[in-house]
Structure formats: C-alpha cells, structure tokens
C-alpha cells in the first residue's frame, strides 16, 4: 500500500475527522470563555474588591529604566499574577463546561444502551418452556 493511500485511509477515518472538528470547536469555545472572563466576570469582581483590574496586577522585580548609552527605554521586569488568575478562572469555566458536556453525552449513551434491551423479546415463562419441552418430547415419540 502506498504512503498516499495509507494517509488517505488515516485521514478519512471517522475518529480523525471527529477530533479535527473537536479541536476547531474547542478553540472557538476557548475564545468565548476568554472574552467571558476578561470582559464580563473579572470587571465586577475587580470592582467589588476596590476597582482593581486583575490583568494589571503584577509584582515589579525591576522598574523600567532608560539606557544611558543609547537612550532606549528598558522595560520593567514583572510577574503578572493577575493574568495568571484570569487564566485559572478561564480554565475552571472550560473544565466545568466540558464536565457538563461529558455528563450529558454519557447520559445519552446510557439511554441508547438501555433501548435495545427494551426491543429484545422477553424470555418465555417457565410454563411456556415446559410446554415446549413436552411438545418436543411428544414429537420425538413414534
């Protein structure tokens, strides 16, 4: 089998296409959650704790300076823990949304698994089985 035929077989397999769709939807969902956290959730939280914008929270290790030789500004060195807090909140929202989606999918799968059992004919009662044995016994006698 040629490498192109093998690649084609791999690429059109259902799982690969499902994965690609999931990645695209996940990336879009990530953007939605980022906007939700940055623009809707964090401003009221910042307002409640004194008008602080979490994205601006940082620890300055060294302030911005101007290089004496070239006159260029050397940016400050900071640890941006506010952005980290935003990212953690985004992660929690995404994880919760995925949890809800997986729970919903598992519930649908359980319903599908239970449905074939309802369509399956029930086992005959003991009386019917006994009558069948008697019938088969009578047929086998000369």
81-109 tens-digit pLDDT: 988 988 888 888 888 888 888 898 888 88
Structure tokens given for 137: 């016994």
DSSP run (H or E) holding 59: strand 59-62
Kindly give the parts of the chain with pLDDT less than 50: none
Global pTM reads: 0.55
Nearest to 74 by CA among 89, 90, 63, 60: 63
């Amino acid at each position: 089998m040629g490498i192109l035929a093998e690649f084609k077989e791999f690429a059109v397999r259902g799982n690969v296409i499902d994965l690609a769709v999931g990645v695209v939807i996940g990336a879009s969902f990530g953007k939605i959650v980022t906007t939700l956290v940055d623009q809707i959730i964090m401003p009221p939280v910042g307002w409640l704790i004194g008008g602080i914008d979490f994205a601006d929270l940082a620890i300055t290790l060294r302030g911005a300076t101007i290089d004496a030789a070239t006159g260029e500004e050397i940016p400050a060195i900071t640890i941006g823990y506010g952005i980290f807090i935003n990212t953690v909140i985004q992660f929690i929202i995404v994880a919760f949304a995925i949890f809800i989606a997986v729970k919903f999918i598992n519930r649908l799968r359980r319903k599908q698994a239970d449905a074939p059992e309802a369509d399956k004919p029930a086992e005959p009662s003991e009386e019917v089985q006994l009558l069948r044995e008697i019938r088969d016994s009578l047929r086998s006698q000369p």
